[in-house]
Structure formats: structure tokens, C-alpha cells
Amino acid sequence: MGNAGIKKSSAPKTKTANVTSETVTFTENVSAPPKSVEKSNLGFSSKKRSRELPKHIMMTKKPNVHWSDIVGLNVAKEALKEAIIIPIKFPHLFKGKRSQVTGILLYGPPGTGKSYLAKAVATEASYTFFSVLPTDISKSTRENKRFIKNLFEEAKAKKPSIIFIDEIDVLCNNRSISTDVGTVYRIKNEFFTQMQGLENGVIVMGATNVPWVLDLTMQRWFQKCIYTPLPEKAARRHMIEYFIGTVPHCLIPRDFDSIVMRTDGYSGEAIEELVREALMMPLRKVQRATHFKMSSGPSPTNSTVCSDDLLSPCGPREQGATEMSWMDVPGDKLLEPKVTVWDFIKSFDSSRPTVNSDDLQRFEDYSKKIKQRDLYS
Ligand SMILES: Nc1ncnc2c1ncn2[C@@H]1O[C@H](COP(=O)(O)OP(=O)(O)O)[C@@H](O)[C@H]1O
Ligand SMILES: [Mg+2]
């Protein structure tokens, strides 16, 4: 997916950008804002748009992800707060030799919450947030330069602002941007030029699963590199509980322990998928059931009231079993089966760790390199 090219319309006057999933079309004479709500690459909607930029780039609506939605990653959250929130809240602390960080790189295995952290920053920090995917940058050199220039100019005009470039490694991966080496070089060059001319109050934040792919100059340019590791035991337990939320279950502490053990090597995203799949199992039990029996439990319409005329799926030989399907159960009479450890065991069949130990070692080595760089810089 991406913006394959920029077409220029012939009509003169006011310049504005019109984006489809495949092209960024710079048309002229378009003054009325679009009626439809567009989706940006971080999944939030945006009604207003900048005159010079594709409309989905600048966030006008917060993505509604809060710091509290991010489980674990305390080091990353604290580092981001220090770099982003504190300078805005206490600007007097960042005068003279103590300057605000202008480049932050989030790196870590896929699914460890880098884009999610960016959404939290966009929600919690009072910055104008620009969210860009390298694929937003089209293949035509002149328009690329214009896009990048406009992006940084808009960010300066609307500061304090953050330009978030997700999957920033794609910018350095020649073939994904363009087959023309010259074009790739010019795009990178323009980025560097703009990044070097950053003023106080404008931050560039990048995210990548493969930090070692970035040019050395780009790696060095990011003063703050924040690692999002795979979740440790405690964070995995917290995530499992968080993703189960209020769904009824009958897991005992020992069940949690075994799920936590088996999720070693899983990312937050993989754990979320595992839990989501386990939470679906009771619904499948209902769909597949050939027999139901009378049961008592919290009323589906008012959970504070206990009803004793509910129906729950059961085996054909269980006492009180009546042959029927879920289609015969009135909507307000179903007693939802609780999620069990077996549901998790089944869910494990279709999930696996996100990264192997070689990949993890690569991240560890990279983190060591970054630490040394910071020590001697
Ligand atoms: N630490 C976390 N806390 C809560 N949810 C998480 C966490 N890490 C990942 N997730 C879940 O996984 C999804 C994918 O994470 P994402 O930020 O896109 O990963 P990345 O950008 O690192 O590849 C998120 O939308 C979120 O639902
Ligand atoms: Mg991501």
C-alpha cells in the first residue's frame, strides 16, 4: 500500500492535496474541506486538513490511547515523558546548555508497542502530531521534496509539534521507496536537510523493527533511542489480565502462571491475539452446542441481578440436558460459559513466539552499541 505517485492537475490557483490510498494528487482550486472522515495511518479520523499536506498526515483528533493502556514498557514510557512532556510543561528547564531532544527513535521487535506508544504520545501530549509512513512519500522526486518540505514547514508553523515516521527503515531501504537510486538519495538528503534545520519545539520521532538498517548518519542523528523489548514475566501476566478485562473466566493463579510461562518470547501483540482467540472459545461452545440446561447466574440484561432461568450449553448426557441449538435460546436467557484454561491451551495451538533467539540477540547487541555510543558521545 502507499502513494504510488503524485499527479498534477491543470487547474490553477489554491494548492491542496487530495489523497487516495494509492496516489497523492496535488490539485488546485479545491477550497472546501472534505465531508467524509478520513482514516490516517495511525487509525484515527481527521476532518480538518492542512492546506499543503495530504489530509491524513496531521492528526486533528486524538487516537484515544492513554499511558495507562500501555502495559509494562515503563522505561520507554518514562523516557518519552522526559523527552516530550516535561519540556512542554516546564520550558524554563530547557534553556541554555540543557536543550530539548529533537530526535527520538523507538526500536524493538514487531508488535512490542512502538506505534501504540506513538498513539499514546499523540493523545497525552499537547503537540500537533504529524504521522507519516514512508509510503506516503511518492515516487516523483519533485513532489517528494515538496512533501517533505511542506511537512517540516507545517510542523514549524504549528509547534510544538511531533513528526512521527513509522517504519522509518523503509526510507533507508532503497528498493521500497523507489527503484531509482537517485530518487532515494534525494529523499534521504531532503530529510536530513530538514532534520538538521529543526527548531526548538519540533520533534522527529521514528519507529523501526530493524534499527541496524538505518544509515549511520540517521542512527547518529537520533539523540534518544528507546528500546521496546519483549514483555518480561510480570508484564506478560499484567497483559493477560488486561486483555481478559471483565470477560467472565475461571482461571486460578496456577493457570495464569502456566500461561505466563508459555508466552515467553511473545510480543504484546501476540499475547493480545492469544487472549482474543481464547475469549472467543466460549462463543464457539455456544454455537456448537446440541444441548442446553437450566442454570443460574448473573442476568445478561443486568449483571447485578441473579437469574435462575438461564440456559447454558452442556453435554447430551448431563443432568437436565435438553436437545436444542443456540437459535432456540432467547437472547436474554443465555448464560455465557466462562473462559477456561483449556480455551487458552487451544488458543496456543494457533500462536507462536514473535521473534527467535537470534533476532533477540541482535536487538540486545544493538542496545549495547547504543549505550556505548551514548557513553562516549
Ligand atoms: N505494551 C503493550 N501494552 C498494551 N498493548 C500492547 C502493548 N504492546 C503491543 N500491544 C498491542 O499490540 C498492538 C500492536 O502493537 P504495535 O504498537 O503496532 O507494535 P509495533 O509498532 O511495535 O510493531 C497494539 O495495537 C496493542 O493493541
Ligand atoms: Mg508499528
Segment 149-170, tens digit of pLDDT: 888 998 999 888 999 999 998 8
Looking at the domain assignment, is residue 357 inside a domain?
Answer: no
pLDDT beyond 60 at 25:
no
Give the number of the atom of ligand 1 that is nearest the alpha carbon of residue 70: 3
Q: Which ligand is nearest to the CA of 276?
A: 1
Three cell numbers, residue 205: 520521532
How high is the pLDDT of residue 15? 34
Same domain, 280 and 210: no
9 three-class SS: coil
Mean pLDDT, rounded, for 86-101: 83
229 three-class SS: coil
Model confidence at 94, pLDDT cuts 50, 70, 90, reads: confident
Same domain, 319 and 199: no
Is the whole model's pTM more than 0.85, yes or no? no
DSSP string, 317-338: TSTT-EE--GGGS-TT-B-PPP
Cα 2–chain centre separation: 18
164: domain CATH number?
Answer: 3.40.50.300
41 CA from centroid of ligand 2 (Å): 10
How high is the pLDDT of residue 13? 36
Greater confidence, 93 or 312? Answer: 312
Cα separation, 166 vs 298, in Å, equals 45
pLDDT beyond 50 at 375:
yes
Q: Which amino acid is at 234?
A: A
Give the environment of ion ligand 2: residues with CB less than 5 A.
114-115
Residue whose cell numbers read 486538513:
49
Mutate to test the pocket of ligand 1, among 107, 269, 351, 355 (most ligand atoms within 8 A of CB): 269
Looking at the domain assignment, is residue 16 inside a domain?
Answer: no
Mean pLDDT, rounded, for 126-147: 77
CB 198 within 8 A of CB 102: yes
Contact residues for 144 (Cβ-Cβ < 8 A; gap 6+): 137, 138, 183, 186, 187, 190
pLDDT beyond 90 at 230:
yes
Three cell numbers, residue 265: 518470547
- Summarised one tens digit per residue, pLDDT across range 278-299 is 999 999 999 999 999 999 999 8
How high is the pLDDT of residue 179? 60
Count the domains in the chain: 2
Pocket flag, ligand 1, residue 70 (CB < 6 Å): yes
Same domain, 153 and 297: no
Same domain, 292 and 258: yes
Residue numbers of the domain that contains 340: 233-349
Same domain, 211 and 248: no
Same domain, 90 and 180: yes
